[in-house]
Amino acid sequence: LQPAIYAILRQSTGQGVSNYHHRSRTAAGDAQTQRCSTAAIAMVFYLVGLGLGDERDITVRGLEAVKKCDQVWLEAYTSVLCVGVERLEAFYGREVKVASREVVESGCDEMLERSKDGNVALLVVGDVLCATTHTDIALRAKKLDVKVEVIQNASVMGAVGKCGLQLYSYGQCVSLPFWTEQWRPTSWYEKIAFNRSGNLHTLCLLDIKVKEPDYAHLAETGRTRYLPPRFMTINQAVEQLLSAEAEHGQGVCGPDARAVGLARLGQADERIVAGTLAELRSVDFGAPLHCLVLCAPTLHDIEAEYVAQFAVAA
């Protein structure tokens, strides 16, 4: 019986060793699975484009991201949406905090730090990375080892295609700032001239002023007060273009230059009117936001036919 007993002992010992190794491999696998699971739920800083219309223009992917967030901010100084924050909150099911210029430019690091412990979203009107402000935020997040996810949407850069001027025939985009008595910049004039020399259209983005400090009141009282919001109209932009033409005189944006004014793109009451700058000067485009396209000197036949339906006379 002794050899048989020894065989049984050897077999049971081998099984024990085998079971031990199996349990070790299982434990290691569970640990690996747990590590992968933890990595999969890493906190995210979302940059979410809202589009141009109202709360419903957010993409399905963007809405899913917002619903996963512990904190949601709305960037409200590079552009504005046509509906109030309460509409966003009702539709998204989350509290939405308004991020002023100070919050975005100075307090954004605190927002990014919160992303290390929970998902945070910054909502941006239009598309996300059309403004350098948001590109800078994405870079700062990466420096803080914060995972960034960009969810894009429609922007004015593409929506201007509604006027019929072909998007691949646009040159450099320019921004027209509000002039003051002491400050009348015209650096954008040379860009328009450059575009025109290449037979290219120019998209002019018009200035907005939201939550601007009243510096005169601050100097007088020591207390901060904000000025009412201001949005440049197409009419004001035309006046500045004509003044710059009178100053520089290169025939870039004179009274006979053809242009298209676009107001409230992406909204139910959007308005598009085409004509010379002299004609657009007196057109009432209504509520903001406005933008203006200066046409290339020569239009393609299809462009000319499409734009004609928006002519002032029509």
300 is in an annotated binding site: no
Alpha helices, H only, the chain: 2-40, 60-67, 85-92, 101-105, 108-114, 132-143, 156-159, 188-197, 215-221, 234-248, 277-280, 301-308
Burial of 32 (0-12, 13-18, 19+ CB in 10 A): exposed
- How large is the average pLDDT for residues 185-200? 97
- 41-45, 82-86, 191-195: least confident range: 41-45
Q: Which amino acid is at 122?
A: L
What Cα–Cα distance (Å) separates residue 259 from each residue in 65, 168, 292, 311? 39, 17, 7, 10
What is residue 132's predicted lDDT score, i.e. its pLDDT?
79
Residue 208 clears pLDDT 80, i.e. is over it: yes
Residues 263/290, Cβ–Cβ less than 8 Å:
yes
pLDDT digits (tens, 9 = 90+) for 85-113: 999 999 999 999 988 777 776 667 778 87
**H or E stretch including 282?**
none
Is position 74 annotated in a ligand binding site?
A: no
Q: Is 117 annotated as a binding residue?
A: no
Q: Is there a binding annotation on residue 136?
A: no
d(CA 75, CA 72): 10
Q: How far is CA 127 from the centre of its chain?
A: 4
Q: How far apart are CA 307 and CA 274, in angstroms?
A: 7
Has 206 been labeled as part of a binding site?
Answer: yes
pLDDT digits (tens, 9 = 90+) for 240-290: 999 999 999 999 999 999 999 999 999 999 999 999 999 999 999 999 999
- Beta carbons within 8 Å of 42's beta carbon, 6+ residues apart: 147
Tokens of 6: 């020894």
> Tokens for 26?
């299982």
* Nearest in space to 257 (alpha carbons), one of 236, 230, 280, 235: 280
